Amino acid sequence: MFVPCDRGGGSAAPDFKGFTLLMPAVSVGNVGQLAIDLVISTLDMTKVGYFYTDCLVPMVGNNPYATAEENSTELSINAEVYSLPSEKLVVLQIRSPFIKNKYRPFCETLLSWVKSSKCARVVLLSSSHAYQRDDEQLLGTPLRYLLTPDLEKAVGGRMKELNWKEMERVAAYPGISDTDKILHIPGGGITKLLFTESCSEGIQMAVLLKFCSEGDNIPDAFVLVNYLNEWLQLIKSEVNSSSQWKIPSSWRLLFGNGLPPALF
């Protein structure tokens, strides 16, 4: 569950009532996590706590958003919470993979926190294997969205104004029957489970995802975060471009560069 940071003056939990919770799925190419990095870094969000769970592989590292030597030695763990009260935005960043068979307990804990903190809605950034698209999904944009019924009532019209494409349901038995359609998100990690559980529990959730392949997924992250910005307008800009997002210092280490001296 959520554990607030102790900033020296007590550890009262911050108020997230009416906030939008933005978080990634640990999915193919880590695209959602990279997009979340861009949001936290660009908006200069403040770390307000941690999400304590035994569902993720434990990890610890240097501050991924260090801006100077003074704050580069701050430690970060596998699930941390950042906030921007002026925009009513709270972000959960996940930095390690899930432990086997721990998807469901994590989803239950997360949705319990969403309810208790009274967040207005959840936006999940995800990705799916490009090579497993069906014929219909090969056409047009590689970006898709999903809305739970409760959020559909509130923002469905806005998605149509943006000309966004909803994630298609695919045949449950390809080549045998095309009448039974299911939601299929290969490589999406917790995406499908978290979405279906949110539908069942009446939680307002949007899933934004991109079809992609493993490799250098930085370009995919920029595409996904610009897609998010079209809707939420986190950065006020007439034209979405990569240059408007601030790249975090930790991205220098993505492809095997030397470890920072401050780590030792």
Is 132 among the domain residues? yes
Tell me how far CA of residue 45 lies from CA of 18, 37, 122, 171, 193, in angstroms: 18, 10, 18, 42, 28
Answer with the residue of higher pLDDT: 115 or 6: 115
Residue 263 has pLDDT above 70, yes or no: no
Is 7 inside a domain boundary? no
Model confidence at 243, in pLDDT bands (50, 70, 90)?
confident
**Predicted local distance difference test score (pLDDT) of residue 69:** 78
Give the pLDDT confidence of 182-235 residue by residue, as tens digits: 899 999 999 999 999 999 999 999 999 999 999 999 999 999 999 999 999 999
- Token digits of residue 102: 């721990």
The number of beta carbons lying within 10 Å of the beta carbon of residue 252 is 11
pTM for the model stands at 0.91
| 126 found inside a domain | yes
Helix (H, G, I), strand (E, B) or coil at 219: helix
In a domain, 225, yes or no: yes
Average pLDDT over residues 152-159: 92
CATH of the domain at 135: 3.40.50.10900
The Cα 113–Cα 133 span in angstroms is: 33
Residue 98 belongs to some domain of the structure: yes
* 6 inside domain: no
Nearest residue to 36 via CA among 203, 214, 250 = 250
| 68 is a domain residue | yes
Domain holding 207, by residue range, is 23-164+184-236+245-252
pLDDT of residue 28: 96
Q: Which of 218, 259, 32, 29 is nearest to 123 (CA)?
A: 32
Nearest 5°: the CA angle 75, 46, 240 is 110
- Per the structure, how many domains does the chain have? 1
**pLDDT-based confidence at 260, cuts 50/70/90?**
low
- pLDDT bin (cut points 50, 70, 90) of residue 10 is low
Model pLDDT for residues 43-77, shown as the tens digit of each residue: 999 999 999 999 999 999 888 998 887 787 888 99
Q: Is residue 115 part of a domain?
A: yes
